[in-house]
Amino acid sequence: MTLLKMTGVKRHYETPAGVVRALDGVSFEISEGERVILLGPSGSGKTTLLNCLSALDSPTDGSYNFKDGEVPRNHSEKMTSFRRENIGYVFQFFNLLQDLTVLENILLIQEIAGNKDQERALELLKLVGLEAEVNRFPGEISGGQQQRVAIARSIAKKPNLLLGDELTGNLDTETSQKVMTALVRACQEENITSVFVTHDEGLIQYATRVIRIDSGKIISDTVLDSTSEE
């Protein structure tokens, strides 16, 4: 089943120095259950694409459909409710609420999504190896641990689409592998579709599809079968 479809999506910025074509005519479809890795050099448009996919930002041209509806744009309330209903997002610079504990950060997102479940919240924190830190505040744990809280939080609400921007960027290789394995399992169990931006080609092993982007355009799109590396 198709989850989403972008056709000819552009995101241009008018700047004093001229037009910046952050996305310049992007078209693709993603089916339910796919795990997509998005690769591309710095400045190629990866974060811009995630922001358009999540309706944090509005394309300046093209169409974007999610499930059977058009995704709202240029209307912050409708965009916010689209995100609440459908999207989990681990940002490039993760943003935990500093005056809530690790556990409370997870419970809050579940509450907003209307499915508060403390047992599951604790289970997810265990999944990312943070069972000992649940009652600490973000300021009292390391950057990599905060990143893992952000990852647990992003799946806690069971989003239809999970987006991650350099989500293992702050983790050492071993932790990164553990977290990715846990994430893949959680996504399979909950039927969560994912798109992860990374510079780390090592993450390709966890994906079912690799999309490469450069200068705001898709330059390759490869579906992987389970036996090949790419």
Ligand X SMILES: Nc1ncnc2c1ncn2[C@@H]1O[C@H](COP(=O)(O)OP(=O)(O)OP(=O)(O)O)[C@@H](O)[C@H]1O
* Vertex 204 angle, CA 200 and 206, to 5°: 120
Q: How far apart are the first and last CA of the chain?
A: 23
Binding residues for ligand X, rule: CB under 6 A, are: 13, 15, 20, 22, 40, 42-48
Bridge partners of 13, per DSSP, are 20
CB-based burial label for 229 (10 Å; 0-12, 13-18, 19+): exposed
- At its nearest, how many Å lie between ligand X and the CB of residue 9? 13
- At its nearest, how many Å lie between ligand X and the CB of residue 42? 3
- From the list Mg ion, ligand X, none, partner contacted by residue 44 (C-beta under 5 to 8 A by kind): ligand X
Distance CA 81, CA 17 (A): 35
Pair type for strands 161-165 and 193-197: parallel
Pick 50 or 127: Cβ nearer ligand X? 50
By CB under 5 A, the count of residues binding Mg ion is 1
Distance CA 150, CA 208 (A): 23
- From the list ligand X, Mg ion, none, partner contacted by residue 147 (C-beta under 5 to 8 A by kind): none
- At its nearest, how many Å lie between ligand X and the CB of residue 13? 4
- At its nearest, how many Å lie between ligand X and the CB of residue 188? 27
- From the list Mg ion, ligand X, none, partner contacted by residue 111 (C-beta under 5 to 8 A by kind): none
- From the list Mg ion, ligand X, none, partner contacted by residue 228 (C-beta under 5 to 8 A by kind): none
- At its nearest, how many Å lie between ligand X and the CB of residue 44? 4
| 32-71 footprint of Mg ion as x/- string (CB under 5 A) | ---------------x------------------------
- From the list ligand X, Mg ion, none, partner contacted by residue 20 (C-beta under 5 to 8 A by kind): ligand X
Q: Is 88 helix (H, G, I), strand (E, B) or coil?
A: strand
**Contact present, 207 and 37 (Cβ < 8 Å):** yes
- Give the alpha-carbon dihedral of 165, 168, 170, 173, to 10 degrees: -160
- From the list ligand X, Mg ion, none, partner contacted by residue 40 (C-beta under 5 to 8 A by kind): ligand X
- At its nearest, how many Å lie between ligand X and the CB of residue 23? 8
158-197: contacts with Mg ion (CB under 5 A): none
Closest CA to 158 of 206, 121, 197, 209: 121
Residues that bind Mg ion (CB under 5 A): 47
